[in-house]
Amino acid sequence: MDLFRSFCLLRAAKHKGVMDIETKVALERHDEQIKTLFKRVDDMEDIKKFLYGLDKSYALQSQLMTNVVEHNQRQDERMDRQQEVIEKININLTELTEGQRKTNEELQSLGSRIDKVEDKVDTNNEKGKIDIVVTAKNIILKFLFPTGALYGIIELIKGLR
């Protein structure tokens, strides 16, 4: 209120054209206060501009954060789907590994059975071969000896007669 009063006194003194020393000192003191107030108002304008810029930056930052959150959510969903795919791949690989193990066991079993069949085939092939010496020996032992012995006995009996 003191400032306003000084302003009014200054106007009145200018209209009268008369100014005393006390009024001049008061006016100078108030003039400094007015300058200080104008400077403060200018500073407030700068602060207002800064706050406006800060508000715009905050709004932009909020929008960017919203975009980042949405992006992270999409990325989380994508990672979840990838995790599901990886788990399915792991299950398939486990089943394939187990199937391979069983196939290897079956192949080993089949291999040993094939070895047995080959041995039997080899034995049958050996049986199918005719060994002339063995065959002659068998014929002599089975037919000729008994026939020869029988002939010898008959001749012996004829000779005794």
Closest CA to 32 of 50, 6, 64, 55: 6
Quote the pLDDT of residue 120: 83
Tell me how far apart the 2 most distant CA atoms of the chain are, in Å: 204
Alpha helices in 2-144 (DSSP H): 2-16, 21-128, 132-139
Name the residue ranges covered by the structural domains of the chain: 2-129, 130-161
Quote the pLDDT of residue 89: 96
Q: Between the CA atoms of 89, 91, 95 and 97, what dihedral angle is there, to the nearest 10 degrees?
A: 70
Quote the pLDDT of residue 37: 85
- Burial track 134-157 (b if 16+ CB lie within 10 A, e otherwise): eeeeeeeeeeeeeeeeeeeeeeee
- Cβ atoms within 10 Å of 6's Cβ, excluding its own: 19
Averaged over successive runs of 10 residues, the pLDDT of the chain (161 residues) comes to 63 60 70 84 91 93 96 96 96 94 89 84 74 68 65 69 58
Quote the pLDDT of residue 3: 62
Quote the pLDDT of residue 138: 72
Quote the pLDDT of residue 92: 95
